[in-house]
Amino acid sequence: MRVHRLAMVGCGAFAKLYHLPIIRANPRARLAVACDLNLDAAKECADRFNAGKATADWREVIGDPDVDAIILATHTNLRGELIIPALQAGKPVFVEKPVANTDAEMVEIVRAGRENGVPVCVDHNRRSSPAIHDLYRLLEKARKGPGGHLPSVDRSDGGQRPAMPQEKQTQILIRVNDDCRSWVDWALTDAEGILFAEMVHFIDVAMWLMTPSPITRVFVEGSAQGNFALTMRFADGSLATIQQTVCGHFDYPKELIEVTANHVTLAMEHHVELRQRGLPDEPFRRTYPFKSINGRLENGGIEAFHLAVTETFENTRRTGSPPVFISPDKGHAAHIDRFLDCIEGKGENPCDVVDAVRVTRVALKLLGSVRKEAPVEISERDWLVEG
């Protein structure tokens, strides 16, 4: 088994919550270097996660012969400046979303990857969520099948009424419950706000579910800092709507994705449960395991998740300790593992930089829409990624 020596560049809250524990738990990975502009933060992570080195200079990471690949989890102000020389040095890069702030920088990253034959993987980790993988599979089955079985109320003469063109479209609704108190200040004060920093996850999911139909028009109502609704229209007339709030409670389930197609309804709730109606040979409900309080593994779906959250708050009242964060499997660990497979030539890149460029371009168009308070068109040119 090959063990990949990884450098963690950016040792902030997200890296400590997700990337660093995932690296430590993966027998195929070892943390070789912890790097942060704050050297004390780098040293803390090096000690906590058994890295051999700590540094405040990311340039040292690129030239380090003991580093095979880089995990980049800084603010988006450090992207191409690090990624391009890393690729030139032959080091693959796993980078947090969004891939960059500007189109020009993204194109330069694509060019460097192609010229050097070295992969860049973007952490659109929902692509590696077990629940969303099943959602994608059931959606494909619904589209290719005869259509959902007849409902309890049928006025279509047993499905014989002439079909409307809308019946072949797909409708996607994504509800994102968020709590601005859980965000670091820069995400709330940047001009791009959460609309850019976070929505790329859900834009990517919608685009992935709608492959290969491209988006042709977008519109946003609300504020880029949070509390907005955005609509994306696809070439076949299908629509995806994302509704986001920053005034919710962090410990209520964050993500609900509902998809309808060919008279089949699918609902994925917080990566712990997937429900469907219309596919007679598929179960109504699937559940996915998550870690509860004290690391206990649960697999009882959304009800078990609510019970686990209730348990941690009751424990807080008894002991005075802070609540335990109950996190479902959103694909973080699997995404890094698939990145390692890609490096070894054993699988496809789970989110190639070209896909991420298209997603980020849509996010930039959405920013344009919220600033103009008007719809923004997306042309065929926006889907071409040169480099």
* C-alpha dihedral, 257 to 196 to 101 to 337, nearest 10°: -30
Cβ neighbours of residue 350 closer than 8 Å, sequence gap 6 or more:
121, 127, 128, 335, 338, 339, 342
Q: Is residue 74 pLDDT above 70, yes or no? A: yes
At 207, phi and psi to the nearest 5?
-65, -40
Q: Count the neighbouring beta carbons within 10 Å of the beta carbon of residue 247.
A: 11
DSSP label at residue 153: S
Would you state the pLDDT for residue 114? 95
For the chain, the residue count is 387
Tokens of 281: 């040979």
CA distance 194 to 84: 26
- Model confidence pLDDT, tens digit, residues 228-285: 999 999 999 999 999 999 999 999 999 999 999 999 999 999 999 999 999 999 999 9
- Most confidently modeled range among 96-100, 158-162, 227-231: 227-231
Q: Is residue 387 pLDDT above 70, yes or no? A: no
Q: Is residue 315 pLDDT above 90, yes or no? A: yes
CA distance 259 to 278: 12
- Model confidence pLDDT, tens digit, residues 181-203: 998 887 788 888 899 989 999 99
- Model confidence pLDDT, tens digit, residues 285-313: 999 999 998 888 999 999 999 999 999 99
Mean pLDDT throughout 340-344?
97
Would you state the pLDDT for residue 240? 98
CA distance 275 to 5: 40
- Band (384; pLDDT cuts 50, 70, 90): confident
At 170, phi and psi to the nearest 5?
-115, 135
Beta bridge partners of residue 240, listed in sequence order: 172, 232
Q: What is the DSSP string of 273-288?
A: EEEEES-TTS-SEEE-
Task: State the pairing for strand pair 285-287/290-291.
Answer: unpaired
- Model confidence pLDDT, tens digit, residues 33-42: 999 999 999 9
Please tell me the CATH superfamily of domain 127-288+328-344+360-377, with its number.
Answer: Dihydrodipicolinate Reductase; domain 2 (3.30.360.10)
Percent of the chain with pLDDT over 90: 90
Task: State the pairing for strand pair 376-377/215-223.
Answer: antiparallel
At 302, phi and psi to the nearest 5?
-70, -35
Long-range contacts of 320-327 (CB under 8 A, 24+ apart): 323/251, 324/293, 324/294, 325/17, 326/251, 326/290, 326/291, 326/292, 326/293, 327/290, 327/291
Amino acid identity, position 359? V
Would you state the pLDDT for residue 75? 84
Cβ neighbours of residue 237 closer than 8 Å, sequence gap 6 or more:
165, 166, 169
Would you state the pLDDT for residue 189? 82
Would you state the pLDDT for residue 185? 82
Percent of the chain with pLDDT over 70: 100
- Domain-wise residue ranges, the chain: 4-126, 127-288+328-344+360-377
Q: Is residue 359 pLDDT above 90, yes or no? A: yes
Element counts in the chain: helices (H) and strands (E): 13, 17
CA distance 54 to 36: 8
Mean pLDDT throughout 58-81?
94
Would you state the pLDDT for residue 211? 87
Q: Is residue 93 pLDDT above 80, yes or no? A: yes
Please tell me the CATH superfamily of domain 4-126, with its number.
Answer: NAD(P)-binding Rossmann-like Domain (3.40.50.720)
Mean pLDDT for the chain overall: 95
Q: Is residue 62 pLDDT above 90, yes or no? A: yes
Would you state the pLDDT for residue 101? 86
Would you state the pLDDT for residue 285? 98
Q: Which of 239, 263, 235 is nearest to 167 (CA)?
A: 263
